Amino acid sequence: MKKTAMPLQERKKTKSAVSPREALKARKQAQVREEIVRVASRLFADRGYRAVTIDDIANELGFTKSAVYYYFENKAQILWQIFEDIYDGYIKMVSEVRDQGLAPREALHRMIYQHAMSVIERRDWTAIYFREEGELTPEQQKTISRRKREYDAIIEEIYADGVRQGLFSDIPPHIAVSGILGMCNWLHVWFSEKGSTRPDEIARYYAELLAKGYELSAPS
């Protein structure tokens, strides 16, 4: 039976679903979106969500207002993107530590250290997360609450594993983890880049200080 040649258009689709030009355009658009979110995060953190307009964001970027609207329908959509980025960044961080299969002491130490570092390095995120959640829609707020529980649950499981192994104090994991993260989250309020202590040093101090509260002494 004679084979029917595949149409040229179909061969092109099979060879490459996305052309190099389209891929480059997509990368550039992603970079612009990220830049809009970065600048909006800083403005929201500095001035408050309600005090910032799309014009403010556009002016800060050197864009026209219509350029910002090309990527986001409104200011609320930008805020939601910030919250999604916050969640994605934090959940990726703890998931990577969990998936390494470390002993509970080392895993929790790393999670505390990295959480503290994230709070310091992305203070805009933390300020927005705790101050602007009320600006989200009720459905978005439910999503954020669910995602927060997912994040906490990963750390709580590490803590519970440490309790089972006789390494950590037998405190309900959700109470222990809430206290640990609460202490770390407060860093966004008082940390100053003008201070004499580097962010990594503070994160290490926090991890060591908190360990003295939840770790049990090794049997002599």
What's the Cα-to-Cα distance from 88 to each of 7, 11, 85, 162, rounded to whole Å?
A: 42, 37, 5, 26
* Domain locations in the chain as residue ranges: 19-72, 75-220
Burial (CB < 10 A; 0-12, 13-18, 19+), residue 128, is buried
Domain 75-220, architecture per CATH: Orthogonal Bundle (1.10)
Instruction: Please say if the pLDDT value at position 25 is more than 80.
Output: no
Domain 19-72, architecture per CATH: Orthogonal Bundle (1.10)
pTM score: 0.82
pLDDT at 1: 47
Same fold, 19-72 and 75-220: no
Q: Residue 16 — pLDDT band, cuts 50, 70, 90? A: low
- Closest residue by Cα to residue 188 from 202, 205, 201: 202
CB of 202 closer than 8 Å to CB of 187: yes
pLDDT at 119: 93
Mean pLDDT check: name the lowest of 21-30, 133-142, 207-216: 21-30
Mean pLDDT to the nearest integer, 30-37: 92
